[in-house]
Structure formats: structure tokens, C-alpha cells
Amino acid sequence: EVPPLVALSLIYDKPNNLEEARFSLPFAVGTMLASGQLGIENLTNEALVNRRIQMEMSKVEMRRIDSLQDTKAPECARITLLTDDDRELTGYLGEPMGMPSNPMSDDQIYDKFLRCTAVGGMFSDQSTTLLKHLATIELASSALIAL
């Protein structure tokens, strides 16, 4: 269950390409259920046709619930899992990780940066060096920044 803003963003129930997969709640949840994680490295053409991910996606239903609209949590979500033994497990997240009131830790940001650069084709040592420079950019002289 999602508020209108989220429903307007996550418009693809059955994504046909990677661009659509980026805006698909079933793809995101299906990937997490099938592989135990969701990250940039999971956004691949192989994942789009993966039978296990497809099977898990078919179990996901997104519902727009206007009453969830909240100016303090415009990107909230309430999830209900129905288990094989007929239990219902429900959870609510007001603000996703990365929002100002739910920030990522430095370690999480660094890990995300390194995963993104790896997917982009950058070698690990280059990424690590760049990350070290970015982490200390405030200390750089204005002459270095101008370069």
C-alpha cells in the first residue's frame, strides 16, 4: 500500500526493459525475495528474465491508498506479507533510507558509491582512490578544485 506520490512513480507492474524496472515495485520486491538483496547490481537484463524473480514478482500487488498521503512522509509504504501458513505480517516505513530524517550512514554511502562505480566499469582501486579524494574534498585547496 502506497500513497499517491509513490503510485505515480512506480508505474510498471511488468517491466519490459531496465528503465521500466527502475520504476517497478514488483521488480524491486521480487528481486529482494528471489536474491535477498536489491541494489544497482541487480538491475540487469538477466534479472528481467530470471524465472525466480518473475515468479516472486507475480506475488506482488501494489495498491494506491490515498489515506496514506502525509506531508511528513510522502514516500511512505505499508507492506503486508501473507505467509504460507496464513499469517499476515504488516510493517510501515514512513521515510525511506536516504531521506533527511532517515539518512544513510557514511559506510552505507561509501558502499553504495563503490557498488555504483563497479557497475559503471571502474576498477576497484580507482574507485577507492576517488572515494578517498571525495571524502576529503573540503580540505582541498581552491587551486586543486579549479583543476
Per residue in 98-129, pLDDT tens? 888 899 999 999 999 999 999 999 999 999 99
For residues 40 and 18, what is the distance between their CA atoms, to the nearest angstrom?
Answer: 11
> Which pLDDT band holds residue 147 (cuts at 50, 70, 90)?
very low
